[in-house]
Amino acid sequence: MLMIYIIGFIVSLVLALGLTPLVKKFAIKVGVVDVPNARKVHTRVMPRLGGLGIYLSFVIGLVALLPFIPDSYISSRDLDFVGAFLVGGTMIVLLGALDDRFDLSAKLKLLIQIATACVVVFGFDIKIEFANIPFHTYSSVETWMSIPFTILWIVGVTNAINLIDGLDGLAAGVSAIAIGTIAVMAFIMGNEITAVLCLLLLGSILGFLYFNFHPAKIFMGDSGSLFLGFSLALLSLLGFKQVAIVSFLTPLILIGVPLSDTMFAIVRRWMQKKPIFSPDKGHLHHCLRELGFSHRQTVLIIYGIAAFFGVLAIIQSSAALYSANWVTFVVICIMVFFLQIGAEVIGLIGKTKRPVLNFIARLRMKESTERGSD
């Protein structure tokens, strides 16, 4: 299987390098372009629809590679997984491509995303069947709970990558790190098909990233961000415990960057008495730019944060295999601490909202005063 992994990655990478320029020309020809506005960083009209290049590279690579995978490595459940991935992914890419061209309404996009999730759940019987909840053993999840939760998870994560698609190469790079993390966990747990899918997708993303890193020549658009979000939803949901079992925390850690950015945005807008869904320039990449970091430096810093979350996800998932719940507790504490401190330093909640840093400063001041009195 090692050669299949390597060949799959190289094939998808080469395909993305070759197809992305063609997609760029096609996007310009049909008028699928991104026009600058007050909330966007770029200053010139850019072709989007780059997600189509990622999708085509992945699908062509998968179709070319499947005949060479030994039957002993593919179960009927794996085939359901692949089928759900291809059908659902195709629906999502078409939705994103249409939105890139025609700016569909949010309600229509949500309905189609829910329909896609229903196809995955009811058409291929893909749903959460077991859960590894911290400080608890594996337990069955009732159908009445697993179906709506699976649909909610797919729809939610599908939209997660779109939230950080604000700088050249940011969404693609963060997605590549998350997919690479899942590939590592798939290797550890012996899930060959998930590893193959991850490496094919990773090659496709990196090939596209060559054209998308600052200064970008093409944007991925919603066709890319939605497809990558959908891919993360399925791979994180199904890629760990022989397709059916999901670790409760691991998928959340994997999408830690967009998830935490969204969480702090909600808190920030609530404290500022603004509508929760109103756009602003207080996201992670905006705050880093305001601190004086360049475009590339900001993207690389967020890559580092995503890699940090990836390492935590691997540690937590590996510990779950051996029921080491104390490791899960430590991971949670580390994650919450660094999230809060980082958010206060960067200013994600607000420029003056720094309760933990202020508390530490008061403690240091008190200690300094006591030493002076002695």
Q: Which residues of 171-206 are buried (b: 16+ CB within 10 A; e: fewer)?
A: bbbbbbbbbbbbbbbbbebebbbbbbbbbbbbbbbb
Residues comprising the binding site for Mg(2+)?
162, 222
Q: Which amino acid, residue 128?
A: I
Query: What is the structure's pLDDT at 224?
Result: 96
How far apart, in Å, are the Cα atoms of 322 and each of 82, 87, 188?
28, 35, 13
Give, for all 374 residues of the chain, the pLDDT tens digit.
789 999 999 999 999 999 999 999 999 999 999 876 655 555 678 899 999 999 999 999 999 998 888 888 888 888 899 999 999 999 999 999 999 999 999 899 999 999 999 999 999 988 876 555 544 454 555 667 788 988 998 998 898 888 788 789 999 999 999 999 989 888 888 888 889 999 999 999 999 999 999 899 999 999 999 999 999 989 887 644 433 334 556 666 767 777 777 777 677 777 777 776 566 666 677 678 778 888 899 999 999 988 988 888 888 777 666 655 566 677 777 877 877 787 777 766 666 667 766 777 777 777 677 666 65
Phi-psi region of 360 (alpha: psi -120 to 50; beta: other; left: phi over 0): alpha
Cα pseudo-dihedral 164, 295, 49, 165, rounded to 10: 0
Sheet holding 139-140, edge to edge: 139-140, 130-132, 245-247
Residues comprising the binding site?
162, 222
Rounded distance between C-alpha atoms, residue 204 and residue 252, angstroms? 24
Classify residue 3 by burial, with Cβ atoms within 10 Å: 0-12, 13-18, 19+. exposed
Q: How many CB atoms lie within 10 A of CB 47?
A: 23
Rg of the chain, C-alpha, whole Å:
21
CB 228 within 8 Å of CB 16: no
20-39: pLDDT as tens digits: 999 999 999 999 998 766 55
Rounded distance between C-alpha atoms, residue 191 and residue 176, angstroms? 19
Query: What is the structure's pLDDT at 202?
Result: 97
Locus of tokens 């995978």: 69
Q: Which amino acid, residue 139?
A: S
Query: What is the structure's pLDDT at 43?
Result: 60
